[in-house]
Structure 1
């Protein structure tokens, strides 16, 4: 008992050590995961934010190019040039419809165009298109080609706009250019707002497009006053990621400010869940270890003590002390021991009976051997009958007796293997007997490819199937019937043997039962009790014995149409 007490204390220390190690591993795992996830996620978040900003910058630059290309289309339009060249009011009135159609098409091309204003060389407004009107700010053109305005805010709606101006020139005969006026397009900030929206994944992230004076044209996210110094680059802050870029053509800026803690909110939630999970796992481990000690170790100790003592007294049984799996296992051990004792008694009794049965079997075989009829006697007798029939000129009887004699001689011949040619010859003798027996009502047709005539196969493999087809397929019929036997080539050096009849066929349930008996061919009781398929079962058993799993045996049948049995076997027995 001292040895077991020592083991008990050792197991307890082992459990405590295991729990301590697992808890330490869980703590280190949590800390390592926290550090790695923080650094990895922050890095991935910064790369993702920078990639989004670059995409937004490219989209804004493309929007600038689209605006300038649109202006080039308007200012180079012959309709606009002709309208500016015309100083007569009545003629301008006539050309106003052309101007309206042209500018309407431009507004369809870019839905952000809210209005188009046309000014003459003196800066007087001479035509307008659109439902919103804001007067032109001071001349916007700074480089002789185009100019972008600052933010224009609608105080009533709060919506922001901006203007872009481009001068209109006409080419003189001398080759020079003369400025006729300018075109001002009023744009809504919706397109720019869509771009900055892609940068603001939540309300904490602020993104905006600013004009050259720092006024907001389009923005997304919540504005904080501290952002102004960050945007102007006057202050660095480790709490934010700040991205900014100046747009080349307009002089505007696109900015994106991201609080770093907005990245970590999701990570912190995951880490909180992880910490709580680790704590629960550690507590569960401690509880499981204590429970296992009381519920597992102690019952095992009792069973070990029983095993040690059982070798001294095989009549003893283990005490069932628990009402659980260990108690059930103790009961099963007791049942097993009882069963082993009973099995030992049965083995001794079985060996005695087996010896008695073997002795009886040998005696029965000796009696059967003594009672067998000499096959040569039967063959000679049939030949004698055939000779007498010929003597009395009974040719039909002689022919039938000759076929029966050949059939009997083939069946009792000692060779286990025969050729297809021999099988075909024997089947033709059998077909002649069937023709005489049923007075021509039933026919047996045999066909074989010439390349298969010398192929060997087990004897009595096909004839039982033909007999079965005649007995169960054709005999119940009132009308004529036929059984066809075919030997054909198959790929991979195999041969297909088909036995088909046009008899009554079988019901599906009968066919399924027959197939089931085929699958369990070693159950002899099934063969003895089957109404159909005794010959089939014997043939199937022989195929399995000679060919194993290299042969294929199929049975197909349909009521009122007949039955087809297909055997596919190797052409060489050793394959």
Structure 2
């Protein structure tokens, strides 16, 4: 007991040490996270914001390049050049369809394109295609090749658009280029808006794309009036991260203003949650450790002491000291030990009786099985009769006796497993006997697929079913009858054996009674009877013994339509 008491004290000290170490780790972890969040995280946040801005700037520059490339496609199109070259109204009407097709193709390439307008050399509008129309903006400033307009706002719905203009030239015979006019494309701002949205992770972060005059083309986040000074570069403030870049081709500016407190608010929330969580975890850990020691460790150690002592004295029982699950478990252990003691006695007695019964049962079965197969002397006697019949030239008697002799010889052979080919051969001999016996009234038809001839199965599985079909299915009826035996492939690993007659059949009640009798074979000690021969029960028992639950045995019958027995057996090839 002193050694156990020392172990208990050591365990308590271990618990206290663990609690102290864990609390220290929690405190250090909190301080480390506080430093990381306030310094490293802020630095990472600034780098992340700058990286997002550079990525957005790159996307905006790429969008500019895509617009200019699209313009090159439009201004170099034969449909546009041909349309601008002609001044005849009728001819322009004919070429309008080509211009419409070009417009549709351009809108598919860039869904932001809302309309395409063509102006002649005198800057007169001569064609427009698209669902929207805004006149050419005076704010378009061209550099000789292309020009971007400022923001265009639809007063009805507040949507923002912009125009891009590019001149159209044709090459003359002398090799010089002549200006035919210009093409103006009207764009929606959804593509620019998508770029801006990627910068505004929350409502406090403001991002926008501004035209040459500082008007907004697209924006996201909350606008504050103080931002105007930041955008114009007139004031700096350490509370904000200000990113501004000018787009070379359009002259627009992309702006991103990030309040630093938008990061710190998140950080402060995390710190508060962490601090509260750490206190709760530390308090819960201490409480759990004490509770575990008093409510779990002590009862377990007491039960361990009992288990150690139980091996020396199986008559002792555990003390029930707690009024909880451990106390209930102690009671159940005592009940279990009482039950085990009684059960052990029953098992010893039952095992003795079972061995005696099993031995008697096996002896009885051996006697029954041996009694169902005719001895060798019957085969020798039949051979003598067959010899005498041949001597007196009684060929029919000799043939019948020969078939019966082969049938008996097949039955007395020592092998338990035979091939389907041998089974078919034996059934044909049996069919010949049936044909002679009933003067050709009953026929036994046998079919076997070639692939199954070398499959092996236990002897005397099929013949008893055929015999049962003849005696109980065909013999009671007045008309001719037939038993059909078929060996067929079921699946790659199974075969199906069917024995079906067209005899008198059975009522449903009689069929159900037979099924119960077959499935209750284990309650019988002797399975063959004078009435049924080897019988269906014997066949079903042998299938269960040989194949286990991998085999299936079914019997179906209908009055005046016959009975069918189906066996699904795993295929077993010869060695």
- The alpha-carbon distance between structure 1 residues 222 and 364, as it changes in their structure 2 partners (threshold 3 A), is closer
Shift of 1:221: 3.2
1:55 and 2:62 are equivalent in the alignment: no
Q: Deviations over 1:103-132 (max 9, x none)?
A: x979997865699888959xxx99999976
Residues 62-101 of structure 1: pairs in structure 2 closer than 5 A: 62-63=66-67, 66=70
Equivalent in the alignment of 2:565? 563
In structure 2, the residue corresponding to 1:335 is in which secondary structure?
helix
- The alpha-carbon distance between structure 1 residues 294 and 268, as it changes in their structure 2 partners (threshold 3 A), is same
Equivalent in the alignment of 1:334? 334
Distance in 1, Cα, partners of 2:176 & 2:389: 136
Distance in 1, Cα, partners of 2:103 & 2:70: 13
Distance in 1, Cα, partners of 2:174 & 2:5: 119
Shift of 1:67: 6.1
Note the residue ranges of structure 1 that are not aligned, 5 or more in a row.
Answer: 84-90
Equivalent in the alignment of 2:321? 321
Q: Deviations over 1:522-575 (max 9, x none)?
A: x5559969998313224314633xxx89xx644466555733335453332xx4
In structure 2, the residue corresponding to 1:533 is in which secondary structure?
helix
- The alpha-carbon distance between structure 1 residues 262 and 411, as it changes in their structure 2 partners (threshold 3 A), is same
Shift of 1:330: 1.5
- The alpha-carbon distance between structure 1 residues 380 and 244, as it changes in their structure 2 partners (threshold 3 A), is same
Equivalent in the alignment of 1:88? none
The CA RMSD measured in Å over matched residues stands at 6.1
Q: Normalized against structure 1, the TM-score is what?
A: 0.67
How many residues matched? Answer: 549
1:221 and 2:221 are equivalent in the alignment: yes
Equivalent in the alignment of 2:483? 483
Residues 136-215 of structure 1: pairs in structure 2 closer than 5 A: 136=138, 140=141, 143-145=143-145, 190=189, 194=193, 197-201=196-200, 202-212=202-212, 214-215=214-215
Q: Is the 8 A contact 1:502 1:563 kept in 2?
A: no
Shift of 1:422: 5.2
In structure 2, the residue corresponding to 1:444 is in which secondary structure?
strand
In structure 1, the residue corresponding to 2:460 is in which secondary structure?
coil
- The alpha-carbon distance between structure 1 residues 165 and 370, as it changes in their structure 2 partners (threshold 3 A), is closer
1:536 and 2:539 are equivalent in the alignment: yes
Q: Is the 8 A contact 1:419 1:457 kept in 2?
A: yes
- The alpha-carbon distance between structure 1 residues 274 and 168, as it changes in their structure 2 partners (threshold 3 A), is same
Distance in 2, Cα, partners of 1:252 & 1:569: 82
Q: Normalized against structure 2, the TM-score is what?
A: 0.67
Q: Deviations over 1:312-350 (max 9, x none)?
A: 654332232334332232222222322343244345545
In structure 2, the residue corresponding to 1:55 is in which secondary structure?
helix
Higher deviation after alignment, 285-294 or 70-79: 70-79
Note the residue ranges of structure 2 that are not aligned, 5 or more in a row.
Answer: 108-112
Distance in 2, Cα, partners of 1:279 & 1:341: 52
Distance in 2, Cα, partners of 1:126 & 1:347: 108
Distance in 2, Cα, partners of 1:449 & 1:135: 90
Distance in 1, Cα, partners of 2:568 & 2:411: 23
Equivalent in the alignment of 1:258? 258
Distance in 2, Cα, partners of 1:512 & 1:177: 106
Residues 282-301 of structure 1: pairs in structure 2 closer than 5 A: 282-301=282-301
Distance in 1, Cα, partners of 2:364 & 2:183: 123
